[in-house]
Structure 1
Amino acid sequence: MELDFEKWHGNKNDFLLTWFPHDAVAFESLRRQAPSLCNRDGSGVGADGILVLHTKTSRDITPYQLSIINSDGSLAETCGNGIRCAALSVLVKHREATPKVELPHGIDLALKSARTSAQFIGILEERASGALPLVAVDMGKAIVNEQNPDFKAAQEYLKTVAADLNMPELTKDWSLVTLGNRHLVFSLDKVSRDLIRKIGPRLQTSPLWDGINVHIIKAKDVSDKDLKRAKDELGQNM
């Protein structure tokens, strides 16, 4: 099986993208090859994941489903940047179609267990120049902390991980966020790739989720001058 790939970037998320008129067996083969293809050490192309636009035939320019394969081969529920990249690839297909076809103002896509829509912003204005428009994606409402039914179980799991890694700070300031896919957000004093490599794989192994996005943030000191400027710009009390 030979596949043509495109490379797309969205807000520093980079993806391989392929239009895929193949069957489930071929798709599972692609999933198994994802770690090698996404590897950044020189042996692979390097990517955060693979976007698969499923079509019934190789001539179709509108996919019936989008699959998002993580770099480890697992399937993501959703990904805002990935959806935006996929939508633009569909738009490019329509622009290049022969004979000419009407350009879409947006696209609806079936995901792993839901549907999503992406809307092109400024497509009419950009039609003549050929530039790609902005894309807006409705990701739905975020479900935060106790709104998640497994929040208490996640608390207990984090206590175990923190003890195993000798990192009690993991249990002090964190959030569990569901926005289609799952996110663990930690506010820590230090942020580094080494830290992500240390805690990320450990948090992936929980039976509570089939993979999860791990984020580390560091609070920035805000001066009185910055605070005053923010108040002036927002025009409201803070």
Structure 2
Amino acid sequence: MTELLKVHGSENQFFILDRTKLEEFLSDKQIIELTKRVTNRTNGLLGGADGLLLVDNSSHKDTLGQMRVINADGSEASMCGNGLRTVSRYLSEKFNQTHFKVETMNADLEVKQAKDLAPNVKAFSVEISPVKFNQEAFPFEKLNKQKIFNETVPEIDETEKFTAIAVPNPHLINFSNNNTINTNKMEKLGKYLNGQNPYFTDGVNLNFAYEKAPNQIFVKTFERGVGFTNACGTGMTATSLAYALINYPNQNFNEEITVYNPGGMVKNNVKKIDNHYSLKLTGNATITHKINIDLQSLINNDLNKAKIFETNEESDYKNFVNSLT
């Protein structure tokens, strides 16, 4: 039997599949097709998800495993902060370790079990790295800029200011107000920049944010390859860094920033030492369901043969969210 876990970080939902436990090897093509089917929001498994997190062995020193992020449309993301927390919990419980590294596309990232956010709300703290500002990391060469920092970009919007940070997923960040977030401007811009366009040719994650209080922000993300998500870990981290750079200019800082999102809340520790940035994202790593299905039925999309076991963690997570001010 094959086991899938349905998990979430701030309601950014995924399935975890451990390829090391499969009865037979599945190719990347098979994994992509499987992902598209099980994550489908109309007829997928358990109402679908934002993507699939593929766990594999790693040959890198001090790592417990490799994480790959397959989006719902079949594209592959270089990183996922919310997903990394859930994979960290999975590997922690699999190997009985609480502090280790996980291999991702661009870096081996340090992860650590954190204090529970609330009763039965497990949490992990994960490193987000590397940080880049140069246009090649996106790319946006046709904008004729080497970087974008808290400035208008008329080719995109005549009035809003943007900051571009890759961590390593490329993010375009706007600080405005609650009214702007609730208009259709963000959706139109997100669809445009992630379709055929001359400016962000590989697409870009779009984050709209506003300050609730000092060092407290709200972030909503239109995610490349997914669309609107309840939360985006790298997006919240990149937005926290942008917030610190804008509000603490020309100084080293070490700030904990509380980030609210449509799916809950996380904490970002954002530290600058000279020109180096250290970013740590802490939030829930919730398992909502455990699914057992024979591999051939999974490959053939015969999902009605799945045996589904619901955990009690989601109700505890919702109690935590309802307690937030």
Alpha-carbon RMSD across the aligned residues, in angstroms, is 3.6
Does the CA-based 8 Å contact 1:148-1:178 persist in structure 2? Answer: no
Measured in 1, the distance between the counterparts of 2:66 and 2:31 equals 16
Structure (1/2) with the larger strand percentage: 2
Cα separation, 1, equivalents of 2:124 and 2:86: 8
For the 8 Å contact 1:33–1:73, the answer to whether it is kept is no
CA drift at 1:3: 4.5
Conserved? CA contact 2:140–2:201, under 8 Å: no
Q: Deviations over 1:74-93 (max 9, x none)?
A: 11111111111001012232
User: SS of the counterpart of 1:143?
Assistant: coil
Structure 2 CA distance, aligned partners of 1:70 and 1:220?
Answer: 30
User: TM-score when scaled to structure 1?
Assistant: 0.65
Amino acid at match of 1:119: K
2:169 corresponds to which residue? Answer: 181
**In 2, are the aligned partners of 1:19 and 1:55 still within 8 Å (CA)?**
no
1:5 is displaced (CA, Å) by 1.4
Q: CA deviation at 1:48?
A: 1.8
- Structure with bigger helix share is 1
User: CA shift at 1:132, angstroms?
Assistant: 6.8
TM-score, length basis structure 2: 0.49
Supply the distance in 2 between the matched residues of 1:220 and 1:121 (Cα, whole angstroms): 25
2:18 matched residue in structure 1? 19
Structure 2: gaps of 5 or more residues = 146-152, 215-254, 256-325
C-alpha contact 1:16 1:51 (8 A) present in aligned 2? yes
Q: What does 1:48-87 correspond to in 2, within 5 Å? A: 48-55=50-57, 64-87=65-88
**Structure 2 counterpart SS, 1:121:** strand
Match of 1:135 among 121, 124, 131: 124
* Number of residue pairs the alignment of both structures matches: 194
Does the 8 Å contact 1:34/1:50 carry over to 2?
yes
| Cα distance in 2, alignment partners of residues 168 and 74 from structure 1 | 31
* Matched residue type, 2:10: N
Contact map agreement 1:151 1:176 (CA 8 A) in 2: no
Which of 168, 176, 185 is the aligned partner of 2:158?
A: 168
The reply to whether residue 117 of structure 1 matches residue 107 of structure 2 is no
Aligned to 1:227: none
Q: Give the SS at the match of 1:4.
A: strand
Gaps of 5+ in 1: 57-61, 95-102, 124-128, 223-233
The one-letter code matched in structure 1 to 2:51 is: G
C-alpha distance in structure 1 between counterparts of 2:210 and 2:190, whole Å: 17
Q: Which has the higher contact order (CA 8 A, sep 6+)?
A: 2
For residue 29 of structure 2, what is the aligned residue in structure 1?
A: 28
Residues 193/16 of structure 1: CA separation in 2 closer, same or farther (3 Å cut): farther
- Structure 1 equivalent of residue 237 of structure 2: none
